[in-house]
Structures are given as structure tokens and as C-alpha cells.
């Protein structure tokens, strides 16, 4: 919302959710047309080995770097401990259906976090000054916002795994599940975005939890819940990364030894990345524009357009033709903007409004914001 402008951001959120819904169904339709049962085999049959190789890289990178376990107290120790104790054992499952109940727990915790964000929007929001441009319709960084939204919605890399786990899997049944899932997801996302932005407006950080004061016990509990959701969610992403390696190097089947070995290596490297990187915003943007955008916008559309024998005026083909160039624009310009204009990252720094003496005004400009932030840093140094 901060990058796009609040009104445009809400519209983009609904638009990305629609594209996600459409492309997830398009993928399964493409699989049915080509007689394939995985994203990789679909692209391999449609575009040959070069397309297969490109998709394999994208499918590997997206879930591989989606492990920003951002726990604040004893961060490095907590990441290692939680990885060894929970993430690794859960990732060793061979059947993705066994993670269904675990994913449900993660969904419940997400609702709990949403409740905390909504509560603080009411109790904390009125005490935080609003930026002068907080309510403009659109801002120039909207493409970066699309990248973050694409990151949030993408699940294309594991859709064939989930589809294969359904009882009596059909395109019609898959469509109903996707419609309901996306509807719930966009509802939660809109509430998160609205409450978070209404609370902090122009001060919103790349990681929303960075905005809250360190002494807020309710938010600390929310951070704990967020850490648990990451621990419970990442094993699903590990399934995809491991499947890509199995398909590329082992013909799709792993022995028990290599199953354990590859899983351990994936988890170790991902954990190392999460230990070294603590700026969530840039991870969301780059992963969104470089991996999520082609996986959502470009590849499903290209596969369906090449495989389908429907007339050019068919609605699926029209939407696919629109999605292709839009995906290319998001990917190229989103990458350029993410590099040249990265999101703010103030990991572990107390925001100025956490000190009551600094919150004595109702409207501030960018220059005043910069001055106040500098004074806040001096205050923090003094108190330390």
C-alpha cells in the first residue's frame, strides 16, 4: 500500500488475486491438454528442454528463498533451533497431503496475527502522525507493489502437487477449491493491508512488525505466531524445491538416502540465507518480480496459448494474451525499481513514535519526517 498508494494498492490487490485464480486454473487445464501431471513436465512438453530448464530454476529459487524467519530475540539461535527441531523433520515427509493439518494450524495463526494488527490499528493508529501524501490515489512505485503482491499469492509451483493429492481430482473440483482459497486469501490480505497502512501510512516498513514498539507484549506474541507460521509453511516449499532437484537430476524418484540428504542440504542452505539476510522488503520485491511474476503471468499463459485449440476470441486466450506482456513489464521494470529504489529496512530500530515526546504533531512532511527520524536515532543512542 505504501509503494502503490492506498486506493490503487487495494485495486491492484484484487487484480493480482484474480490473475492468480485464473492462472492456477489455466495450469491444470494446460496439464489436461498436454497429458502431464507436473509444472515441469507441462513446460517441457510445450517448450522443450530450454523451457523446462528455465522453469526449474524459477521453481527452485522461489520456494528456496522464501524462508525469512524473522524472530527478534536471539534471532540467530532461534532460527537454528527451530529449523533443526521443527522445519527439518516436517520437510522430510514424502507425502504433501500429510502437511494438511499443519497448514491449517498456520492459517489459524495467521488469523490471530490479523486480529493483533486490527487491534493495534484502533489503539495505536490514532497516536501516529500521518504523512501528507498518505491518501493519494497512486504512487510511482506501484510495480514494486505488484511484485510483493505476486509473492504473497503465488502457489503455482506446488499446484500440481496439491491437485494430485485431491480425491477424484477434476478441473471443475480444482476450480471450486481455487475460487474459495483465493477469495479467503484476498479477504485476509485486504484486512492486513488496510489495518497496517491505516496505522502507519508513510512510515510503513518492508516488514510490518518492524513498525511496532519493542515493548508491546501483544505484538511480541504476534511475532511469535508469525515465526510459527513460517516454520509450518516452509516444509511445503521444501517439497517443491526437492521435487525440482529430483526431476532434473534423478528422473523424478529419490531413494531414501538421497531424499534425506537433499532435504538436509536444502534446509541448511536456506537457513544460512535467513541468518545473513534480515531485510524482508527487498526479498519480497526481488523474489516477486523475478520468480513469482513469470510463474503467475507469463509461463501459464504461454503454455495454454500454445496447447489450446480454442478460437482466438475465447475468453481464456484473450486474458492470456493480456497477461503475457503485463508479466514482462512487471518483471523487467519491477527488478529495475527494486534495485534503484529499495524499501526501507530498519531492523531492530525503535520507531520515533515509540517515544511519546516525539509524537506531538498530527501532520508532517517528508523533510520533517527525516529530521524527526534522525532525532529519534539520537534519542535511542542516548538511552542505550
- The domains located in the chain, with CATH, are 6-348 (1.20.1740.10), 350-384 (no CATH)
CB 330 within 8 A of CB 297: yes
pLDDT at position 172: 92
pLDDT at position 348: 66
d(CA 361, CA 321): 50
Length of the chain (residues):
384
pLDDT at position 152: 85
Within 13 Å and on the Cβ side, how many CA atoms surround 181? 18
Give residue for cell 487491534.
119
CB-neighbour burial class of residue 355 (10 A; exposed 0-12, middle 13-18, buried 19+):
middle
CA-wise closest residue to 43 among 318, 304, 332: 304
Partner residues linked to 364 by β-bridges: 131
CB 361 within 8 A of CB 337: no
CA-wise closest residue to 340 among 297, 289, 291: 289
Report residue 187 as a C-alpha cell: 479477504
Measure CA 95 to chain center: 23
Instruction: Encode the chain (384 residues) as per-residue pLDDT tens digits.
Output: 988 999 999 999 999 999 999 999 999 999 999 998 888 889 999 999 888 888 888 877 776 555 544 444 456 777 788 888 888 888 888 877 777 778 788 889 999 999 999 999 999 999 888 888 888 999 988 988 898 898 888 888 778 888 888 888 899 999 999 999 999 999 999 999 999 999 999 888 878 888 898 889 999 999 989 888 888 888 888 888 888 888 888 887 889 999 999 999 988 888 887 777 766 667 777 888 888 889 899 999 999 999 998 898 899 999 999 999 999 999 998 888 888 877 666 666 788 888 766 544 444 334 343 434 443 433 433 333
CB 206 within 8 A of CB 344: yes
Hey, how many other C-beta atoms are within 10 angstroms of the C-beta on 172?
8
CB 138 within 8 A of CB 5: yes
pLDDT at position 319: 93
pLDDT at position 71: 42
CB-neighbour burial class of residue 149 (10 A; exposed 0-12, middle 13-18, buried 19+):
buried
User: Tell me, what DSSP letter sits at residue 132?
Assistant: T
With H, G, I as helix, E, B as strand and everything else as coil, classify residue 86: helix
pLDDT at position 23: 94
pLDDT at position 114: 94
Give residue for cell 493508529.
125
Q: For the chain, give the longest Cα–Cα distance.
A: 70
Dump strand ranges (E) for 104-174. 130-131
With H, G, I as helix, E, B as strand and everything else as coil, classify residue 363: strand
Amino acid at each position: 500500500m505504501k509503494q502503490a498508494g492506498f486506493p490503487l494498492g487495494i485495486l491492484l490487490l484484487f487484480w493480482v488475486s484474480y490473475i492468480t485464480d485464473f492462472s492456477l486454473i489455466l495450469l491444470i487445464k494446460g496439464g489436461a491438454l498436454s497429458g502431464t501431471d507436473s509444472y515441469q513436465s507441462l513446460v517441457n512438453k510445450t517448450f522443450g528442454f530450454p523451457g523446462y530448464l528455465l522453469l526449474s530454476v524459477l521453481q527452485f529459487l522461489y520456494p528456496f528463498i522464501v524462508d525469512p524467519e524473522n524472530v527478534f530475540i536471539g534471532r540467530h539461535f532461534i532460527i537454528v533451533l527451530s529449523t533443526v527441531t521443527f522445519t527439518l523433520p516436517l520437510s522430510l515427509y514424502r507425502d504433501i497431503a500429510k502437511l494438511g493439518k499443519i497448514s491449517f494450524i498456520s492459517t489459524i495463526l495467521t488469523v490471530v496475527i490479523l486480529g493483533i494488527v486490527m487491534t493495534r490499528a484502533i489503539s495505536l493508529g490514532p497516536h501516529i502522525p500521518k504523512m501528507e501524501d498518505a491518501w493519494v490515489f497512486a504512487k510511482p512505485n506501484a510495480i514494486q507493489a505488484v511484485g510483493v503482491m505476486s509473492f504473497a499469492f503465488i502457489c503455482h509451483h506446488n499446484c500440481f502437487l496439491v491437485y494430485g493429492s485431491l480425491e477424484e481430482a477434476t478441473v471443475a473440483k480444482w476450480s471450486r477449491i481455487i475460487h474459495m482459497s483465493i477469495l479467503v486469501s484476498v479477504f485476509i490480505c485486504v484486512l492486513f493491508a488496510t489495518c497496517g497502512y491505516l496505522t502507519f501510512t508513510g512510515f510503513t516498513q518492508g516488514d510490518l512488525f518492524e513498525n511496532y514498539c519493542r515493548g508491546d507484549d501483544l505484538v511480541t506474541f504476534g511475532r511469535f505466531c508469525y515465526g510459527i507460521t513460517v516454520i509450518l509453511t516452509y516444509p511445503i516449499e521444501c517439497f517443491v524445491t526437492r521435487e525440482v532437484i529430483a526431476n532434473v537430476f534423478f528422473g523424478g524418484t529419490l531413494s531414501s538416502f538421497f531424499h534425506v540428504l537433499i532435504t538436509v542440504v536444502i534446509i541448511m542452505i536456506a537457513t544460512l540465507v535467513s541468518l545473513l539476510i534480515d531485510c524482508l522488503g527487498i526479498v519480497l520485491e526481488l523474489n516477486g518480480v523475478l520468480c513469482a511474476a513469470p510463474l503467475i503471468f507469463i509461463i501459464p499463459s504461454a503454455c495454454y496459448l500454445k496447447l489450446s485449440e480454442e478460437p482466438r476470441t475465447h475468453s481464456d486466450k484473450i486474458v492470456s494474451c493480456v497477461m503475457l506482456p503485463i508479466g514482462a513489464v512487471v518483471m523487467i521494470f519491477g527488478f529495475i525499481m527494486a534495485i534503484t529504489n529499495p524499501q526501507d529496512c530498519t531492523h531492530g530500530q525503535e520507531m520515533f513514535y515509540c517515544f511519546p515526546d516525539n509524537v506531538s504533531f498530527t501532520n508532517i512532511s517528508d523533510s520533517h519526517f527525516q529530521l524527526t527520524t534522525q532525532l529519534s536515532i539520537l534519542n535511542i543512542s542516548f538511552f542505550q
